[in-house]
Structure 1
Amino acid sequence: MRGDAVLFSEMTPDASFEADFHDWYDNEHIPIRMDAPGFRSAQRYKRDGGPGYLAVYELASDEALRTPSYDVIKKQPSTRTRFMLDNVTGFTRYTARSIGIAEKAEHPDAFATAPVLYAVSFTVPKDGMAEFDAWNEEEHVPLLMRCGDWLQVRRFEVISGEPGTYTRLTLHYLRDKSALESPERAAARDTDWRKRLAKRSWFKGDYAVFEAFRPRQVGRFPEL
């Protein structure tokens, strides 16, 4: 089930404990969260061309991160969890609220089934948000969605996170990463509106491609 918020977190284990990292993630780290109110599901991904592993948690709302149950999870980690979090590198953790979605009618579950996730983050200042959001909603995303392999786009307001200062996160769900080389994407990146935005000093996005990794896990108690 899709949530109204996501928790987006990436980590890179050292090769010396990578196998144990995956066992911990699959059998302890995610399952304990799937038992917490408001955690609907979690999907793991592997960074394309890099060592990082991403997890995207679907939350009923960001209130899921402020329940007594989650407070215990955060403040009373197991010895194994403390070791992993102290020793992984490339750690990121962002909480974001949904502000928009575009999808193909025949693929409403693309967030759960698409094999490729393309994540784009921007640090948009307050005085640029209205135009940035309008550009995405009115032009950029509709042009991308003309590509047959571009299944769904979800836009989020980042409300907290580290280590970056991002304020906008967009998750693109693709049938194949070749969509990134499609004529539709080229057209979406070559408009007058985008060229105007590209002149702004803050218009510098962080782009990452991930491939689905491991089966999706679903929460037992999804609602708050």
Structure 2
Amino acid sequence: MRKGLMVVQSGPIEPAREDEYNDWYDNTHLPQVLAVPGFVAARRYRARSGADPALPGYLAIYEIEADDLTDPVKELRARSAAGEIRQSGAVRLDPPPVVTLYELME
């Protein structure tokens, strides 16, 4: 079984909606993503003050375990397209979140 990380950089659409963004991420989005087979853990981080304001202020790191690391990501996208993964209007989409998949080197 392969191990990897999916790293997502994102942020709220505007500072006034930051609480809404964090509530959705922690209480809705993370549990829905972790319900997808292959996603085994997740952690979130916030940029410290003084970080480049042009970059997304939040980082989510999802641990993935699967024979093919793209399978859980495909399932996540399928569930999103089917409306099973609830989106939030508080997430900044311009520019869109940056998603990168990494494979553990062994």
Bin of the TM-score, shorter chain as denominator length: 0.7 to 0.9
Which residue among 64, 71, 87 is the counterpart of 2:72?
64
- 8 A contact 1:12–1:89 mirrored in 2: no
Higher helix share: 1
TM-score, with structure 1 as normaliser: 0.38
Does residue 1:74 correspond to 2:73, yes or no?
A: no
Which one scores higher on RCO, CA 8 angstroms, separation ≥ 6? 2
**Equivalences for residues 97-176 of structure 1 within 5 A:** 97-100=103-106
- Structure 1, unpaired ranges of 5+: 101-224
Instruction: Classify 1:77/1:88 alpha carbon distance in 2 versus 1 (closer, same or farther; 3 Å).
Output: farther
- Structure 2, unpaired ranges of 5+: none
Determine the structure 1 residue equivalent to 2:3: 4
Which residue among 56, 74, 99 is the counterpart of 1:93?
99
Measure the CA separation in 1 of the matches of 2:94 and 2:17: 10
Aligned residues: 96
**Amino acid corresponding to residue 6 of structure 2 in structure 1:** L
Secondary structure of the residue aligned to 1:83 is coil
Query: After the TM superposition, which segments of 4 or more aligned residues of structure 1 sit over 6 Å from their partners?
Result: none
- 8 A contact 1:12–1:88 mirrored in 2: no
**Aligned-pair distance for 1:95?**
0.8
Identity rate of aligned residues, in percent?
A: 25
Measure the CA separation in 1 of the matches of 2:82 and 2:64: 21
Does residue 1:21 correspond to 2:31, yes or no?
A: no
Secondary structure of the residue aligned to 2:29 is helix
Measure the CA separation in 1 of the matches of 2:25 and 2:94: 12
Measure the CA separation in 1 of the matches of 2:60 and 2:9: 6
Tell me how large the CA RMSD over aligned residues is: 2.6
Does residue 1:83 correspond to 2:89, yes or no?
A: yes
Measure the CA separation in 1 of the matches of 2:91 and 2:82: 13
TM-score, with structure 2 as normaliser: 0.74
**Aligned-pair distance for 1:73?**
2.5
**Aligned-pair distance for 1:87?**
4.2
**Amino acid corresponding to residue 6 of structure 1 in structure 2:** L
